[in-house]
Amino acid sequence: MKAGIHPKYFPEAQLVCACGVTYTTGSTKERIDIEVCAACHPFFTGKQKIMDTARRVEKFTGRTAAKSEGVMTSKDKAAKAAARTKAKADKKAAAAS
């Protein structure tokens, strides 16, 4: 290995999670800050934890709620089509009179 080209290695580097858990590991950085670890990750804990820093979950639920309010059922569509057909027939009968 060439001398002077490798970064300094810290055998006692601190890995600090946002939940407060601290691990000791080897790294080229003296301190590493992370957001999730094995103590707080949903895969390991079995608990759902939504980290919505950009309001993405809230925006998504708002969009889906707005779409579900405006969605017509098949009964609504059939009733609307029947009303349209009746209106056309009435208009045609009025024009023939």
pLDDT at 65: 80
As a whole number of angstroms, the distance between CA 3 and CA 62 comes to 58
- Rounded Cα distance between 90 and 94, Å, is 6
pTM attached to this predicted model: 0.43
Domain boundaries, the chain: 7-49
Residue type, 76: D
Residues of the chain with pLDDT under 70: 1, 49-52, 70-73
The second-level CATH assignment, the architecture, of 7-49 is Irregular (4.10)
Q: How confident is the model at residue 49, as a pLDDT? A: 63
Give a three-class secondary structure readout of the chain: CCCCCCCCCEEEEEEEECCCCEEEEEECCCEEEECCCCCCCHHHHCCCCCCCCCCHHHHHHHHHHHHHHHCCCHHHHHHHHHHHHHHHHHHHHHHHC
Task: Give tens-digit pLDDT for 71-95.
Answer: 666 777 788 889 999 999 998 888 8
pLDDT at 43: 74
